[in-house]
Every structure is written in structure tokens, then in C-alpha cells.
Amino acid sequence: MNLTMLKAKLHRAAVTQCDLHYEGSISIDKDLLEKSGILPNEQVDVLNINNGERFTTYAIEAPAGSRMIGINGAGARKAQVGDLVIIIAYAQMSEEEAKSYTPRVVLMGEGNAVV
């Protein structure tokens, strides 16, 4: 049996832009992707702390050092610039693997700086 476990999380990231007319996805600063272990094109869930909205999309790379968290496409209807979000990636693993796996959790602070 495989379990779906938390792989990585960016906690309390601030949305820096919303682009309704982009084809979709969430743009995440390349440095934040690397710190969290989330890969470009990986499926993620986005949980909006401000309004309770949740949606699934995929991550794309924003320029390194930009601290960008950009909600694109239809997801842009579920967030506003300044909203705090939690971005979560999951992984499938056996129960045995899950018992020893530690997810990467990146806590975000002011201006999307890593705390």
C-alpha cells in the first residue's frame, strides 16, 4: 500500500502577483523551490489563509531572488496580492518509507524572506 504524505511546504508565503490571463500555475521564486524541494511542473495545493480558498495547480519557476509568489490563470480568482498562502507538495511512498521520511518545511516571513 502507498500513502500520500507531505513532501514539502512553503508556509505563509505572501502572494506578490495575480495574472488571470496567464495559462495557469503558480510562479515561485527559484530559490524557494530549491529550498523546499518542490520541482518545476510538480503538482501543488495552494491554501489561502486569508479567505479559505484551496486549489490544485502546478509550480513554475520564477526568477531566483525575486521572492515572487504569482497566482496565474483561474487560481487568480482565488487570491489577491498580499494574501498569505500555504503551498504544499505531496509524495507517494510505502508505509515503511513514510515512517522515516521528514518533509521540508520552509517558514516564510516579511517580504517572502525565509525565516
pLDDT confidence of residue 13: 98
pLDDT score of 23 more than 90: no
Q: What pairing do the DSSP bridges indicate for beta strands 2-14 and 104-107?
A: parallel
User: Does any domain span residue 15?
Assistant: yes
Model confidence over 52-101: pLDDT tens digits? 999 999 999 999 999 999 999 999 999 999 999 999 999 999 999 999 99
User: Does any domain span residue 55?
Assistant: yes
Q: Which long-range contacts (CB under 8 A, 24 or more apart) does 51-55 make?
A: 51/78, 51/79, 51/83, 53/78, 53/79
Count of domains for the chain:
1
pLDDT score of 29 more than 90: yes
pLDDT confidence of residue 36: 98
Active centre residues (catalytic): 25, 58
Instruction: Provide the Cα torsion 37, 63, 109, 71; round to 10°.
Output: -90
pTM recorded for the entire structure: 0.96
User: Does any domain span residue 12?
Assistant: yes
User: Does any domain span residue 100?
Assistant: no
Tally of CB atoms within 10 A around 115: 9
For 46, the domain range is 2-93
User: Does any domain span residue 107?
Assistant: no
Distance CA 74, CA 9 (A): 22
Query: What CATH number should be reported for the domain holding residue 26?
Result: 2.40.40.20
